[in-house]
């Protein structure tokens, strides 16, 4: 995850925890990105880390879907092939999936999802 994506994600999570405090622990970060040693990468893979998994998951069923996967991207960022494949798999299984590029977009999506 780039520094800009990290900054965006931390803003979004902070807003969510403040705005939706009663369900704050139902939004989870998926620690897939970042530079790691081969040993750490192997350990995380054995623990269940999956290439392409979205950055955040909101574990609340709404609007006929089981939960909301959220991928953070900068305005110029793009999904990797693994991320697009993950998106296809989870939407086929009945989950919502969005790519978020700003705090305002995140707020709108989450508020609409939870309404």
Q: Map out the domains of the chain with their CATH numbers.
A: 3-114 (3.40.1350.10)
34-57 pLDDT, tens digit each: 667 788 777 878 887 888 999 999
Q: What is the mean pLDDT of the chain?
A: 93
DSSP code of residue 34: S
Cα–Cα nearest to 59, from 103, 92, 101, 29? 29
- Give whole-number Cα distances, 79 to 22, 26, 50, 54, 84, in Å: 31, 24, 15, 10, 6
Count Cβ atoms below 10 Å from residue 34 Cβ, excluding itself: 10
Are the C-beta atoms of residues 99 and 91 closer than 8 Å to each other? no
Least confident of 2-16, 29-43, 59-73, 88-102: 29-43
């Amino acid at each position: 995850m780039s520094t800009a994506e990290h900054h965006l994600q931390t803003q979004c999570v902070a807003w969510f925890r403040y705005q939706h405090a009663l369900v704050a622990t139902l939004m989870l970060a998926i620690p897939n990105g970042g530079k790691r040693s081969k040993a750490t990468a192997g350990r995380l893979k054995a623990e269940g880390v999956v290439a392409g998994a979205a950055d955040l998951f909101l574990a609340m069923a709404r609007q006929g879907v089981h939960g909301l996967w959220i991928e953070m991207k900068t305005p110029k960022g793009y999904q990797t092939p693994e991320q697009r494949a993950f998106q296809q798999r989870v939407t086929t299984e009945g989950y919502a999936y969005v790519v978020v590029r700003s705090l305002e977009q995140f707020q709108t999506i989450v508020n609409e999802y939870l309404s």
